[in-house]
Amino acid sequence: MLDGTALRKTLQALLPPAVIEAEAERLGVVQRVRKRDVAAQVSALVLSDGSDDSGRLADAYRRYQAAGTQPVVRGAFYYWLDDEMATLMETLLSGALSYAETRPVHLPGVLGGVQDWIIVDSETVTLRDCLAGELPASGSAAGIKVHKQYSVGRGCMVGYHFSCAREHDNRHLQVDDEARGKGFLVDLGYASLARLREWDAVGAKYVIRLKENWKPRIKRLFRGEVTQELMPGTDFDAALVDEHLLLDGQCIDADVVLGPGATAVHCRLVAVPVDGGRYLCYLTNLPRTAGPRQVAEIYRVRWEIERDNKVDKSTARLDQIRATTVSSVKILLCAALLHTLLADLLAHEHLLQRVAAKLTRIPPLHPLLVANALRANHVQLMQALLADRTPGRTWDSLAELIVRHGHDPNWRRRPSVLDRLQGVTAPRGRARRRRLRDCPPDAQPFRGNLAPIAALQ
């Protein structure tokens, strides 16, 4: 289980007061002596609190005032959110991501075979119209995109960058030597034949959906019911239309070619039946030790980044930015991403300890509920973080609160795809009738007729 030592280590790694003060001095955040506690200000921005009815900056200002710092007027607090402060927040977020990459990877079973699975996605934040000149958007006047890379093995974000909302996602995924040995799960916004060639060139694995305008040609069929022999180069769609390849409720697995001539991509196509008689088609370069249904399950893990985006917006309030300057926007974005990263890392630490101790009956932590627990206990967390010496029992008490309120309520009834692939689902409990039978007689529920009692009343 998550203990006080792990909580203290994670919180101090992401928000180290001494490092914040040193970086603030190096970057010129504080240019002259003033009544300002930079570490308290950063902690107030990251440990989000309050309701959706109030602004994020207003909440951060109130938390900063409640942290025991010298009081300042609201205008001075907002004036501090300048370019230097934005650079400081980006530096802290980069350091937090470096710490996240040092955490152990948990990829058992079919998820193994790669160093890590990386999910790539973006989320758009609508901004005030006054920022349209610097951050133009398409559906609105102004907006900014957060491009994220999410680690399945570590359960958190490991990379990010910002762009204006008008730019397409495809250009913001770069494949280099750092991708070697990893696996990628991306949606169709990042898919292209050139990207498949890049992944093959660096030795990376991938699983993506098949685009409608892509025309795969069958090289060799390994699984699937056919009515006549398929010649190499047969168009996959034509084979389905002519019923030479039957969709009879069984999986299809074939080697295919996409694209013309020397630029052609050779990969594997799997088609998996789903409810309603439909089929979902995936392209991958995974070996056939992973069957078609396992490939489909791996792609479904891509939903984890959607869950992470929900934490960004529901708890860290990423989409509630009403700032009027680019520096303030970047500060609030970095604060929200740090908040979500902290919740994810705490949930991952809890998972690692559960697996190491084989505590199968203890539920995992849900990052969304952990983030809510951080918000609810932000005062105690700030005091423990900023104090010179905080007793270990204080950290243990805070960790116990986070674990108590962060348990995943659906781990028995509806485990996620990732939970099932990682083997951390709940063991089967006793049947309800058996539980009632094993209860003592005085604890048995009343099953009689309440009508006579109601008549006496």
Q: What is the pLDDT of residue 388?
A: 81
pLDDT digits (tens, 9 = 90+) for 233-281: 999 999 999 989 998 889 999 999 999 888 899 999 999 999 878 999 9
CA dist 23 and 82 (Å) reads 15
CA dist 64 and 382 (Å) reads 10
Which stretches in the chain have pLDDT values below 50?
Answer: 446, 450, 453-454, 456-457
Q: What is the pLDDT of residue 453?
A: 44
Q: In b/e form, how buried is each residue of 402-411, taking b as 16+ CB within 10 angstroms?
A: bbeebbbeeb
Instruction: Name which of 281, 443, 301, 309 is nearest 371 in CA terms.
Output: 309
Q: What is the pLDDT of residue 267?
A: 95
Instruction: Name which of 12, 42, 73, 44 is nearest 379 in CA terms.
Output: 44
CA dist 252 and 269 (Å) reads 8
CA dist 185 and 421 (Å) reads 15
Q: What is the pLDDT of residue 360?
A: 77
* DSSP annotation string for 323-350: -SSHHHHHHHHHHHHHHHHHHHHHHHHH
Cβ contacts of residue 77 below 8 Å, gap of 6+?
A: 41, 57, 60, 61, 64
Instruction: Tell me which DSSP letter residue 282 carries.
Output: E
How far from chain centre, in Å, is Cα 439?
Answer: 42
CA dist 204 and 191 (Å) reads 14
Percent of the chain whose pLDDT exceeds 70: 90
* DSSP annotation string for 129-154: GGGTTTSB-SSSSBEEEEEEEEETTT
